[in-house]
């Protein structure tokens, strides 16, 4: 039986691409008592409510994670929290830096404070590969948020609440994904703009991302930063998988954009282990005053280990990418 069965769950940012996929999974397969959707946009809440046919297990809270008082109200009686709310566009962050700080950093601390005070059992926060060795403002805010959640276990050591983080790459098919953009240009017979023809990226599907979160609740002690063992892909292969034979135009990297992504830096690699037969990596906490212990099935990684999209030993082929897209990702 799932740990989420019969429980009360709250998801911040629950009307986005991940939120809708998470709601579908938990409602169909985990039998929660109720799921609180906490988000800012009433139109999106209306659309998602209709999408799930007004499922009576769903509760709808209009609110912003910048508002700690509203969070406290929404968290009453909640057992588990998924923190998915964030500002996410890399180039937008470069022009609006403090807005990202207010949501991604201060908002995350509000989630921590309110969860502890509400007696929440476990919180899983969503992160990004941009948080590893960040060069842009968005990545820096997410790295700070990651640290807040991991260190939140010290902060809450005398309380029952525990915090963990899941870090993954670009999500295929999510809102803002390049795939619909490429498809539209292809239908119009236009060339596809590539920020740099050498770019490599980590990509994960929405079902994979959701499964990471639900599995995290099962085994987390608090303090883990979970990273999936997933293949890399070349952005040019992705483009040709979406629009075979398309003309590609190198337009140069956007502000704050990396040529290659990283999910585990060499410094983080010193604290990394493999679990679940190599399915996931865990970056373990430096200090664990709340009682974290290395998992029994953990395997060490090699000395000097780092997990980068350009030096990965697993790669999606163009055909595999096309098949994933054809399956509806």
Catalytic residue positions, numbered:
130
Give one DSSP letter per residue of 16-52, joined into a string.
SHHHHHHHHHHHHHT--SEEEEEES-HHHHHHHHHHT
Q: Compute how many other C-beta atoms are within 10 angstroms of the C-beta atom of residue 317.
A: 13
Q: Compute how many other C-beta atoms are within 10 angstroms of the C-beta atom of residue 147.
A: 15
Q: What is the torsion angle, in degrees rounded to the nearest 10, for the CA atoms of residue 222, residue 224, residue 228 and residue 233?
A: 130
CB 124 within 8 A of CB 217: yes
Distance CA 140, CA 131 (A): 6
3-state secondary structure of 234: strand
3-state secondary structure of 54: coil
End-to-end CA, the chain: 27
Distance CA 155, CA 161 (A): 10
Of 82, 105, 103, whose CA–CA distance to 164 is shortest? Answer: 82
């Amino acid at each position: 039986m799932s740990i989420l069965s019969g429980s009360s769950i709250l998801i911040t940012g629950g009307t986005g691409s991940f939120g809708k996929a998470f709601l579908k999974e938990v409602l169909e397969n985990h039998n929660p008592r109720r799921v609180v959707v906490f988000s800012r946009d009433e139109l999106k809440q209306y659309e998602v409510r209709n999408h799930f046919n007004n499922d009576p297990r769903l509760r709808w809270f209009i609110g912003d994670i910048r508002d700690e008082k509203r969070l406290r109200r929404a968290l009453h009686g909640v057992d588990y929290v998924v923190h998915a709310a964030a500002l996410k566009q890399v180039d937008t962050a470069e022009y609006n830096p403090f807005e990202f700080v207010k949501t991604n950093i201060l908002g995350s601390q509000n989630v921590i404070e309110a969860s502890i005070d509400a007696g929440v059992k476990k919180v899983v926060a969503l992160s990004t590969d941009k948080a590893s060795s960040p060069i842009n403002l968005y990545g820096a805010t997410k790295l700070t948020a990651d640290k807040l959640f991991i260190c939140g276990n010290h902060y809450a050591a005398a309380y029952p609440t525990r915090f963990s983080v899941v870090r993954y790459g670009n999500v295929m098919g999510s809102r803002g994904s390049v795939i619909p953009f490429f498809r539209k240009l292809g239908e119009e017979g236009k060339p596809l703009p590539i920020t740099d023809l050498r770019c490599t990226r980590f990509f994960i599907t929405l079902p994979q991302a959701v499964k990471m979160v639900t599995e995290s609740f099962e085994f987390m002690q608090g303090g883990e930063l979970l990273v999936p063992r997933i293949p890399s892909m070349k952005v040019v292969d992705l483009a040709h998988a979406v629009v075979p034979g398309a003309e590609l135009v190198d337009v140069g990297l956007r502000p704050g954009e990396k040529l290659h992504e990283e999910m585990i830096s060499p410094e983080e690699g010193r604290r990394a282990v493999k679990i679940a037969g190599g399915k996931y990596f865990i970056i373990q906490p430096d200090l664990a005053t709340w009682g974290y212990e290395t998992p029994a099935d953990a395997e060490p990684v090699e000395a000097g280990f780092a997990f980068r999209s350009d030096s990965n030993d697993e790669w999606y082929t163009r055909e595999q990418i096309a098949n994933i897209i054809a399956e509806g990702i």
